[in-house]
Homo-oligomer: A and B are copies of this chain.
Amino acid sequence: MTPYERLEQKFARLATLNEAAAMLGWDAAAMMPPGGAQARGEQMATLAGLSHELLTAPDITEDLAAATPPENPWAEQNLALMYEAHTRATALPRDLVEAASRANSTCETIWRTARKASDFAAVRPALEEVFNLTRQSAQILGAALNLSPYDALMTQYQRGITASDVTPIFADYESFLKKALPQAEELQSQREHETLPPGPYATETQEALCRQLSAAAGLNYASARLDRSAHPFCGGTSTDIRITTRYDEADPLSAITGVLHETGHALYEQHLPAAWRRQPVGEAAGMATHESQSLIIEMQAVRSDAFLAHLAPLLTSAFNKPITQGALKRRLRHVERSCIRVEADELTYPAHVLLRFRLEQALLSGDLPIADLPAAWNDSLQNLLGITPPDDAHGCLQDIHWYDGAIGYFPSYTLGAMAAAQLFAAARKAIPALDAHLATGDFAPLTNWLAQHIHTNASRFGFNELLLAATGEKLNPAAFQMHLTERYLK
């Protein structure tokens, strides 16, 4: 066996172990009784520890030094990704990793209380410790990978795009929003206010619809489940997808659009190339790419005029209540300046990301002291959306991300939204009858196109390369602005 072949075997074993952890993670969210929580934490920590030991074992270091891949671009990329994973796992001193893990966990626990009490001062020292240790890690990783500290963090969520690529794209969006938002609000106020009939919308009916619509969108339930959890997600593994959602009997659209969002993630996983299963190059290309696949279903396809025309009679018949396309449009395309990111519509959502992207860079570099975060947050939101949070619970305390050590993650949401618009425009060009298909509930032409241009490429390419191959250009924010203009400004 060559060193490269040995590496393939060892990374397959590592991936199999990580699959086990993924299944236990799903179980913890969707099935586990409360009494199981402590033991589950220990099981997950043991699996993570074993996974880290396998990845940093001396035999892997030796094989990486000796390996030359077969002449095949997939194998070449696979070896490069193995090398990167190994570098990330070995670059950081064990003491620092453990200190950071403890700091993140402590800070997250304090944050849960601090958010409820809207008491930023209570969590400030813990957050300072998180940023201090993350800064040290980012510097070491950046040196090892030849990246800036912030890019060393950002690329662990999405390869192939850096902060310097993102900065002008976000600035461009800011200018667009300044003009677009008041216009969208003005137009919205002039439109007819069709409303959905009042609930209850029975959970069982919602669940049956979610199954029916996700299956119609291409989810293969012979290799997937749909269950319930407090926070919806798509977990499991490519041949055993576990989607979760929650049901609100007052509002059927939150579960339906949520499940279709997760279905976008699931289709990506189900279409990954079996030949490269359990290899680094066989994984999905990153968080922003993944988000583009969920949002192209949820925001582009499902909220299109064509699909909503199909959905309205379906809901009318399932719930035995009159539900019009107009009411769906009003409910699913309502623009509103909000302090809370997760409640934001697709037009204003990027403002929340932009704010966080700028602030987390300043916090990481040290340019912005943690103590100044609440004021900087409020100024920034005022500047972007013209509103000010009533308190820090609705401001800088709202998201878990920084408080549990996830820094560099936020841009993925908006990169995903922009990529989704760009990909949808390209798919529409390639498939002239795309909207006619969606009008009959047929997602296959779209998802086949995505399978071919995105899913089956797995991690062959980084973010911008993938978009270039699929659409003919790197990330170009014009498609997203065009999409918003079409939907909100006409």
Interface string of A234-273 (1 = CB under 8 A from B): 0011011000000000000000000000000000000000
Q: Are A20 and B24 in contact (CB under 8 A)?
A: yes
Is A46 engaged at the interface, CB distance under 8 Å to the other chain? yes
Q: In the complex, what residues of B have CB within 8 A of residue A31's CB?
A: 31, 225
Is A43 engaged at the interface, CB distance under 8 Å to the other chain? yes
Partner of A32, one of B33, B38, B240: B240
Q: Are A239 and B42 in contact (CB under 8 A)?
A: no
Q: A43 to chain B: closest CB distance in Å?
A: 5
Q: Are B16 and A43 in contact (CB under 8 A)?
A: yes
Tell me whether A35 and B225 are in contact in the complex, defined as CB-CB below 8 angstroms, given that A19-B43, A23-B27, A43-B16 are known contacts: no
Task: A225 to B35: give the CA distance in the assembly, Å.
Answer: 11
Partner of A33, one of B27, B43, B46, B221: B221
Q: A326 to chain B: closest CB distance in Å?
A: 38
- Main SS of chain A's interface residues? helix
Tell me whether A223 and B36 are in contact in the complex, defined as CB-CB below 8 angstroms, given that A23-B27, A24-B23, A50-B50 are known contacts: yes
Task: A391 to B47: give the CA distance in the assembly, Å.
Answer: 48
Q: Are A43 and B27 in contact (CB under 8 A)?
A: no
Task: A46 to B23: give the CA distance in the assembly, Å.
Answer: 14
Partner of A35, one of B19, B42, B240: B240
Residue of B nearest to A30 (CB): B31
Partner of A43, one of B20, B34, B35, B224: B20
Task: Report copies per complex.
Answer: 2
Task: A350 to B236: give the CA distance in the assembly, Å.
Answer: 44
Q: In the complex, what residues of B have CB within 8 A of residue A39's CB?
A: 16, 19, 237, 239-240
Partner of A222, one of B23, B33, B50: B33
Is A211 engaged at the interface, CB distance under 8 Å to the other chain? no
Q: Are A46 and B27 in contact (CB under 8 A)?
A: no
Q: Are B38 and A239 in contact (CB under 8 A)?
A: yes
Residue of B nearest to A17 (CB): B46
Task: A24 to B20: give the CA distance in the assembly, Å.
Answer: 7
* Interface positions of A from 27 to 67, Cβ below 8 Å from B: 27, 31-36, 38-40, 42-43, 46-47, 50
Q: A272 to chain B: closest CB distance in Å?
A: 12
Q: In the complex, what residues of B have CB within 8 A of residue A222's CB?
A: 33-35
Residue of B nearest to A270 (CB): B35
Task: A221 to B50: give the CA distance in the assembly, Å.
Answer: 31
Residue of B nearest to A34 (CB): B222
Is A304 engaged at the interface, CB distance under 8 Å to the other chain? no
Q: Are B221 and A36 in contact (CB under 8 A)?
A: no
Is A13 engaged at the interface, CB distance under 8 Å to the other chain? yes
Most buried by B among A27, A36, A50: A36
Cross-chain pairs A/B with CB under 8 angstroms, 20 sampled: A16-B39, A16-B42, A17-B47, A17-B50, A19-B43, A20-B46, A23-B23, A23-B24, A23-B27, A27-B27, A31-B31, A31-B225, A32-B240, A33-B222, A33-B223, A35-B220, A35-B222, A36-B236, A36-B237, A36-B240
Excluding A24-B24, A36-B236, A36-B237, 20 further A-B contacts by CB distance (< 8 Å) are A13-B46, A16-B39, A16-B42, A16-B43, A16-B46, A17-B46, A19-B39, A20-B20, A20-B24, A23-B23, A23-B27, A31-B225, A33-B222, A33-B223, A34-B222, A35-B239, A35-B240, A39-B237, A39-B240, A50-B50
Return the 6 tightest CB-CB contacts between A and B, nearest first: A35-B223, A36-B240, A16-B46, A20-B43, A35-B239, A35-B222
